[in-house]
Amino acid sequence: MIREILRSVVLNKRNKLQKNFQQKPFMSVVKRKFRVGFADIDFNMHINNARYMVFMERARWDHPVQTNTWDIMFKEKLNFIVAGIEMGYIRELRFGKAFEVETRYLGWDEKYLYLEQRFVADGKIHAYGLVKAVFLQKGKLADPSNVASLLEIETAPDALPEHMELWKSLATAKRNYSDASIATVKEVEKEAA
Asked whether residue 171 falls in the same domain as residue 129, the answer is: no
pTM of the entire predicted model:
0.86
The answer on pLDDT for 7 being more than 90 is no
Q: What domain range is 169 assigned to?
A: 161-193
**Per-residue pLDDT, 130:** 95
Beta strands in 73-173 (DSSP E): 78-89, 98-108, 113-121, 124-137, 140-141
**Per-residue pLDDT, 183:** 80
Asked whether residue 50 falls in the same domain as residue 141, the answer is: yes
The CATH number that applies at residue 75 is: 3.10.129.10
Asked whether residue 45 falls in the same domain as residue 65, the answer is: yes
Asked whether residue 80 falls in the same domain as residue 166, the answer is: no
The answer to whether the beta carbons of residues 62 and 189 sit under 8 Å apart is no
Mean pLDDT within 24-46: 94
- What's the pLDDT tens digit per position in 133-192? 999 998 899 999 999 999 988 777 778 888 888 988 888 898 888 888 888 878 878 887
**Per-residue pLDDT, 182:** 84
Asked whether residue 17 falls in the same domain as residue 44, the answer is: yes
The per-residue pLDDT of the chain, averaged, comes to 90
Asked whether residue 148 falls in the same domain as residue 93, the answer is: yes
- What's the pLDDT tens digit per position in 91-147? 999 999 999 999 999 999 889 999 999 999 999 999 999 999 999 998 899 999 999
